[in-house]
Amino acid sequence: MDRIRVIGGNQLNGIIPISGAKNAALPLMIASLLTSDTLTLENVPHLADVEQLMRILGNHGVDLSVNGRREGQTETYARTIQFTCRTVVDTVAPYELVSKMRASFWVIGPLLAREGKARVSLPGGCAIGTRPVDLFLESLQALGATIEIDGGYVEVTAPKGGLIGAHYTFPKVSVGATHVMLMAATLAKGTTVIENAAREPEVVDLAACLTAMGAKIEGAGTKTITIEGVSSLHGARHRVLPDRIETGTYAMAVAMTGGDVTLEGTNGALLENALDALRQAGATITETETGLRVVRNGNGIQPVDVVTEPFPGFPTDLQAQFMALMTRSSGVAHITETIFENRFMHVQELARLGAKISLSGQMARIEGVSKLKGAPVMATDLRASVSLVIAGLAAEGETMVNRVYHLDRGFERLEEKLTRCGAVVERVSE
C-alpha cells in the first residue's frame, strides 16, 4: 500500500494548477444516464472516485471515450470524456460497486426518471458519519416513486405514467439529495419546486449542464429551485468548474508554510468564507488574471474560530485542513463541526505530530504550538489525509502518511503540484 513521505520546513513558491472539482464531476457524469445522446465533459480530474464511477456507469450501459491528452502528458492530467448511454442495459447498481463510494448511490435519480425503476445498493464511502439516505428517498417519494428496502438494496418504482412534479421542502440541507432530486425532476411531468435546496457551486454547475441538455431550471444557487419537466434531454458539452476544496487546501498549505503561490484556473467566489478565514489567519489573498495569489511572509499564524456550514458558509471539506493550520497559530482557535458527527478523527493523528487539541462534543479547541515534529500518521478519510500532509509540510523532520488511497480519491497529482513549489513530498510504494 502506498504512503506519502513529507519532509517539512520548506516554503511554497510557484504556481499550482487547480483541477476540475471532484464534487462537481461526479453528479455531472451521472447526468449522462438521463439522455441517449452524448454528454461531453471537459476538465474531468483523474481521481480514484472518478475511475470508480466510470466503472459503475459502464455497468449501466454508458460508453466512455477519453480524449484530449496531449503528447508527453501522463494519464493523470485533466481529461475530456464523452459519455453515451444509448440504452440503459441494467437498472441495478450492485453492492460491490456502490459500497466503495457513496456518490454512486446518486444514479438512483436518473435511472428512476429514465427507466421508471432502479435497484441500488445502500452506499459506502468515508466513515465520517451515518449520512442516511432518507432525504434522497423522501424527495423521490414526493415525485411519486414507490420505495422498498430489501436485503441492503433500495428498490424504487415510478408511477405508470412517469414521475410527477411536486413541491418539496428538504428538512435539512443536503447536497447529494438536491443533486438527485434535481436530476430526477428534469424528466418529471409538470413543475417541481425544491425548497431549502443546497446552494453549493457544484449544484449550480449541475443545473447549468442540465440546462445545456435541454432542462428548464431556475433558481439554482438559491434556496428555491424550480424545474419544469421536459419529455427528454439531449447531449451537450460542459466544462467542470474548478475544485474549490483543492483551492482552499493549497491556500492553507501556503498559509502554513509561508511563501508565494498562484493558484491557477480557480475562482475566489467559490469559497469566499474560507478565504476570509485565511486572511484573518494572516495570509494575503488577491485575485489575478489567472486565479488567486496566496502569500504569507514574516508574520505568524493568527488563531481564527470557524463553524462549518452549508454553502456559503465555511466548508466541512476544509475543516481538517484548517485545523492543521491552526495547530501552528499564536493562540487558541475553536472549530465547530455542524455537518458530520464523526469528522474529528484526524485529531488524534495531528496530536502525534505534537498538536494540542481537545474535543468537547462537536467543538475542537486548538492551542497553537511553536513547532510540530514529524511522525508516522494514518489517514482516516479523504480530507483528513491531506490535513496530515499540510501539517507535515511545517513539521520538523519526516512525516509518513499511511493509507493514502483516501488521498487519491480527491486530489489530483498532489505530490507533483507541491514538489514543483519547493516542498519535499514523495510517494513511497511498498
- Which CATH number fits the domain that encloses residue 147? 3.65.10.10
In terms of domains, do 230 and 253 share one?
Answer: no
Whether 193 and 167 share a structural domain: yes
Helix (H, G, I), strand (E, B) or coil at 134: helix
Specify whether 204 is located in the same domain as 247.
no
Cα distance between residue 253 and residue 417, in whole Å: 12
Burial pattern 194-217, b for ≥16 Cβ within 10 A else e, equals bebbbbbbbbbbbbbbbbebbbeb
Q: Is 102 annotated as a binding residue?
A: yes
Report residue 361: phi and psi, to 5°. 65, -120
Examine the domain organization and report whether 153 and 255 are in the same domain: no
Same domain, 224 and 249: no
Q: 99 among the known binding-site residues?
A: no
pTM: 0.94
Establish whether 85 is a catalytic residue: no
The active-site residue, picked from 85, 126, 209, 421, is 126
Asked if 244 and 270 count as a contact pair (C-beta separation under 8 A), the reply is yes
**Residues 285, 333: one domain?**
yes
- Based on the domain organization, do 132 and 157 belong to the same domain? yes
Rg of the chain in Å (alpha carbons): 22
Considering 190, 218, 239, which residue would you say is the last residue of a domain?
239
Residue after which a domain boundary falls, among 188, 205, 239? 239
Check whether residue 57 and residue 184 sit in a common domain: yes
One domain, residues 232 and 246: no
If one counts the domains in the chain, the total is 2
**Quick one: DSSP state of residue 278?**
H
Per-residue confidence in pLDDT tens, the chain, 430 aa: 789 999 999 999 999 999 999 999 999 999 999 999 999 999 999 999 999 999 999 999 999 999 855 444 444 467 999 999 999 999 999 988 888 888 899 999 999 999 999 999 987 543 434 447 889 999 999 999 999 988 889 999 999 999 999 999 999 999 999 999 999 999 999 999 999 999 999 999 999 999 999 999 999 999 999 999 999 999 999 999 999 999 999 999 999 999 999 999 999 999 999 999 999 999 999 999 999 999 997 779 999 999 999 999 999 999 999 999 999 999 999 999 998 777 788 999 999 999 999 999 999 999 999 999 999 999 888 778 999 999 999 999 999 999 888 888 889 999 999 999 999 999 998 7
For residue 13, CA distances in Å to 20, 151, 186, 263, 413 come to: 22, 53, 46, 11, 17
Residue 356 assigned to a binding site: no
256 and 233 housed in the same domain: no
- Rounded to whole angstroms, what are the CA distances from 314 to 131, 168, 275, 278, 359? 19, 26, 9, 11, 19
Structural domain for 251, as ranges: 3-19+242-428
According to the annotation, is 317 in a ligand binding site? Answer: yes
Q: Are residues 328 and 268 in the same domain?
A: yes
Residue type, 191: T
Are 212 and 302 members of one domain? no
CA 120 to CA 215: how far, in whole Å? 25
The verdict on whether residue 23 carries a ligand-binding annotation is: yes
**Containing H/E element for 203?**
helix 201-212
Report helix, strand and coil shares of the chain as percent, to nearest 5: 35, 30, 35
If one counts every other C-beta atom within 10 angstroms of the C-beta of residue 358, the result is: 11
* Torsions phi, psi for 334 (to 5 deg): -125, 135
Which of the listed residues 239, 266, 297 is the one where a domain comes to its end?
A: 239
If you search the block for the grid coordinates 484573518, which residue do you land on? 280
